Structure 1
Amino acid sequence: MRRRDFIASTTGTAAAAIPMVGQRRSVGMTDVARASASLNQLIEADDRQGGHASLASSALKARAKVLELQQRNAGERVRRALYALAAEFTTIAAWSCIDLRDLDTAQAYLHESSTFAGLSQDPPTSMRVWVNMAMLAYQRKNWPEQLAAARAANASPAARRDPFFGSMGRVRLALAHSSLGDLRAARRALGAAQENYRKAADERRPRWTAFYGPAELNHLAAIVLNRNGQPAEAEAMAHRALAKLPTEFQRNRALITCQLASAQLHQGEPEQATATASTVFAIMEGAQLPGRMRTLIGDFHRDLFRLAPSTTYARDWADRMRDEWSRT
C-alpha cells in the first residue's frame, strides 16, 4: 500500500470510530459562566443555614453537568475553568458533609476536589481545598494532619501572592497550633493573620471567600483562645465578631454565639452563658442545626451540667434543648 493511501485510510478509520467528537459543539467561557450560575446560590444557602443533604446533592448535580462539558471540544483556558468549577462544586459537597459531621464522605469528596483543583491550576481553588482539609482534620481531632494541611494552605501560591489568602492560611496555622496546645505558636500565627489581613487590598475575589473578613478572623481567634483556657479574651473576640458580621451569615452568627456562650460559661457565668446559648435556636429560625453546631451545643450542655447541674436555668435549658432537638 502506498504511504498516501495508508494515511488517507487510517484517518478515515479514526474519524469513523469517534464520530461524535467532531459533531459536538465546542465549549467556551459563555458555557462556563452558565454552568457557574448556581454556584453563588449554593454558597448563599450555606451562609444561611449551613451544610445539609440537599445542598450536597445540588452541588454534585452541578458538578456532573460541568464534567459533561469537559467531554466536548474546548481550549485550555476553558478546560481549566471547568476543572475549577468541578473542584468548587465538589468542595461545597465536602463542606456540607463536614457541617453534617459525615466525615468519611467529606474525606472522599475532598480527595476528588484536590484532583480537580490541581487540574485547574487555579491558586484560590487549591487554597480552598487545603483550608477544608484542615477543617476536616480538626473535626476528626487529627491534630498532626490539621497542622500539615494548614501548612500546605499557608505555603500555597495563593497565600504567597495575596495577603488576604496569606491571612487565611495563617489563621489555620493558629487553629492547628492551638489544637496541639502550643499557645505561643498559635498567638504568633494569629498575629500574622491579622497583620496580613490589614495589608490585603480590597479587590474582587471568588465568591466563596466572602465569609472571611474581620468578623470571621475574630471568630477564629475566639476559638483559639477558648481552646487554650483564655475565656475572657475569647469573649471579647466573640463580641467583636458578632458586631462586624454581615447579616446574611446566619449560620456563622449562630456558631460565634456558641463560642460566646462557652467563653461566658468558663468564666463562671453559667446563667448568662445559658441565656446566650439559648439564642442560637432563634438565630437559626427553626432551620435544622448542622451537625457541627449540634456538637458545639452538646459540648456546652455537658459543661453546663458539670458546673451548675441543679439550677433552674440549667433544667430549663435541658427542656429547651430537648424540644429543639426533637423538632429539628
Structure 2
Amino acid sequence: MPYARNAVLIAWMKTNGWTALELATALNTVITEVTQRISTRGELSEVTIRKWRSGETTWPQSKARMALERISGRSAADLGFLPPDRRKSRATPEEPVGRRTLLALASTAGAAALARSSPSVGASDVARLRQQLDTVNALDDQRGGHDRVEKAALTGAQEAVSLQARAATQRTRQQLFALAADFTATAAWSCVDAQERARARTHLDRALYLAGLAQDPALTLRVWNSVSMLAHQQGDHAEALAAGQAAKTTSVTRRDPLYASLAHARIAIAHAHLGEGRPALRALDLAAASLDKAEHGRPRPSWIAFYGPAELHALTAIVRDRLGDAVYAEAASFQALAVLPDSFRRNRALATVRLSLAQLHQGDIDQATATTANVFAEMRGAPLPGRMRSLLGEFHRDLITLAPGSATALDWADRYRTEWSRP
C-alpha cells in the first residue's frame, strides 16, 4: 500500500528553501550541540528526510523531533507527523486512497496559504538586524556590562531566530542564525563584564549552539574567548586555557591572522594566571607576530572592532604584571592608552586601572592613587561595570597591603568608597 506523503513538511521545506541534505546536516548539528556528543552512529541523512517526506516514517525519533522543532519553531505534529496513538486513524481499509489524497492536497493548500500570509525574510531584514547589533555593541563599548545591553541583545537574538523560519534562502537562514549567535554572545559578554556569571554561562552555551547552526567559526571563536574570560573570573584558569586553545583551533584563525592573534593573547593570559612564564611570553610573541600580518582595513564583524594593537598592549600589561614584571606592564599600559580610541571608553578606563596597578606594584603609591582618579573621570556619567569594580577592589587590597594606615591609603579609601557607591 502506498504511503501518504507528508505534504505539510514538503511545503514547509519548499517555503524555507531546505533541501533534504541541508536539513539533515542542520538537524545533526543541533543534536550534537544539545547532547554534547559527536558520533557518526545514528546520524540523520538525506534518506531519513526523504522517508519523512514520503510518509514512510510517520513519527521521527525523539532527538530528531527535538532538533526539527528547534529549527522550525513548530511541533512535529504541526509539520504533518502523526504520533503513534493517531497512526491507526491515518488510513483504514474503509478509507480509500482518494480520500488520503484529498487530505494531502488540503494540507498543502493550507501550508501554502500560511506561507503567503507570512512574507519571506531576505537581505533587508539581515541588514536591519546587523545595524541593530552594531548599535548594541557600540553601547557596550561606551557603558560596559549593563542590563540594558543584555536585554537589547537578547531581544535582537530572539527576533533573528524567529525570522529564520521564514528565510527566503538557506544563506539568509544561516545569516540570521549568525546574527542570533552574535546578539547572544553580546548579551553573554555584557554579563561577563558585569560579573553576572550564572547568566553569562547560560548565554554562552546558547551562543555556541547558534554559532554551530550558523556554521560561523568567527562567532565560535568569539564565544570561546568569552568563556576563557568567564573561567578566569571563576578562578578556573585551566578551563580558561582550554577555552583559549579551543578558540585557536577554529578555522577562522587560519584565514585571518587578527583572530589568531586574539586567541594567542587569550592563551598568554591563561598561562600567566597559572604562573607559566615561558609559555605565556611565547604566546604573546605569537599574538604580536599574527597581528603584524593582519590586514587592518579588512571588513569584519563589529564585535571584533575592540581588538588591535591597543588591546594587545593592554593584554600584555596583564600578562607582564601577573608574571611580576611591573615595569614592563606600566609601559604596555601607557602604550595601550596612547592608541586606544576615545569611543572605547570602558576599555580606556580598564587600561587606566591596569596602569595604576603596575605603578602600585613598583611601590609608587602616590602616583598609583593619582592615576586612579582618571578612571572615575573616564566613566563619569556611567555606572562602573562589575569587572571594573572588581579590579578597583584588587587595587584597594594591594594598596592596604603595601601601605597600611598611611595617609595616602586612607585618603584614597575615602574617595574609593564615594566613587564606588555613586550611581
Query: What TM-score, normalized by structure 2, do the two folds share?
Result: 0.75
Matched-pair identity in %: 47
- Counterpart CA distance in 1 for 2:263 and 2:236 is 18
Shift in Å, 1:150: 0.3
- Counterpart CA distance in 1 for 2:394 and 2:306 is 25
Question: Quick check: 2:314–2:332 contact (8 Å CA) kept in 1?
Answer: yes
Question: Quick check: 1:21–1:73 contact (8 Å CA) kept in 2?
Answer: no
Which residue of structure 2 lines up, in the alignment, with residue 125 of structure 1?
A: 219
Residues 53-68 of structure 1: pairs in structure 2 closer than 5 A = 53-68=147-162
Aligned CA-pair RMSD: 1.6
1:252 equivalent to 2:347? Answer yes
In the alignment, which of 89, 95, 112 is matched to residue 206 of structure 2?
112
Segments of structure 2 that go 5 or more residues without pairing to the other structure are 1-94
- Counterpart CA distance in 2 for 1:263 and 1:292 is 18
Which residue of structure 1 lines up, in the alignment, with residue 422 of structure 2?
A: 327
Q: Secondary structure at the match of 1:229?
A: coil
In the alignment, which of 159, 162, 181 is matched to residue 87 of structure 1?
181
Q: Secondary structure at the match of 2:174?
A: helix
Shift in Å, 1:140: 1.1
- Counterpart CA distance in 1 for 2:96 and 2:307 is 67
The one-letter code matched in structure 1 to 2:184 is T
Identify the structure with bigger relative contact order (alpha carbons < 8 Å, sequence gap 6+): 1
In the alignment, which of 286, 304, 307 is matched to residue 399 of structure 2?
304
Change (3 A) 1:207 1:305: same
Question: Quick check: 1:231–1:266 contact (8 Å CA) kept in 2?
Answer: yes
- Counterpart CA distance in 2 for 1:277 and 1:84 is 39
Higher helix share: 1
- Counterpart CA distance in 2 for 1:2 and 1:305 is 88
Question: Quick check: 1:86–1:116 contact (8 Å CA) kept in 2?
Answer: yes
Which residue of structure 2 lines up, in the alignment, with residue 287 of structure 1?
A: 382
Which residue of structure 2 lines up, in the alignment, with residue 135 of structure 1?
A: 229
Residues 1-328 of structure 1: pairs in structure 2 closer than 5 A = 6-16=100-110, 19-202=113-296, 203-328=298-423
Number of residues of Structure 1 aligned to a counterpart in Structure 2: 328
Q: Secondary structure at the match of 1:216?
A: helix
The one-letter code matched in structure 2 to 1:12 is A
Q: Secondary structure at the match of 2:210?
A: helix
Deviation digits for residues 106-143 of structure 1 (CA, Å, limit 9, x no counterpart): 00000000011011112211111111111111111111
The one-letter code matched in structure 1 to 2:127 is A
Shift in Å, 1:14: 4.9
- Counterpart CA distance in 1 for 2:323 and 2:160 is 44
Shift in Å, 1:21: 3.4
Deviation digits for residues 284-308 of structure 1 (CA, Å, limit 9, x no counterpart): 1131100000000001001101111
Segments of structure 1 that go 5 or more residues without pairing to the other structure are none
Deviation digits for residues 267-293 of structure 1 (CA, Å, limit 9, x no counterpart): 111111111112210011131100000
- Counterpart CA distance in 2 for 1:285 and 1:17 is 56
Q: Secondary structure at the match of 1:141?
A: coil
Please tell me whether Structure 1 or Structure 2 has the larger radius of gyration of its CA atoms: 2
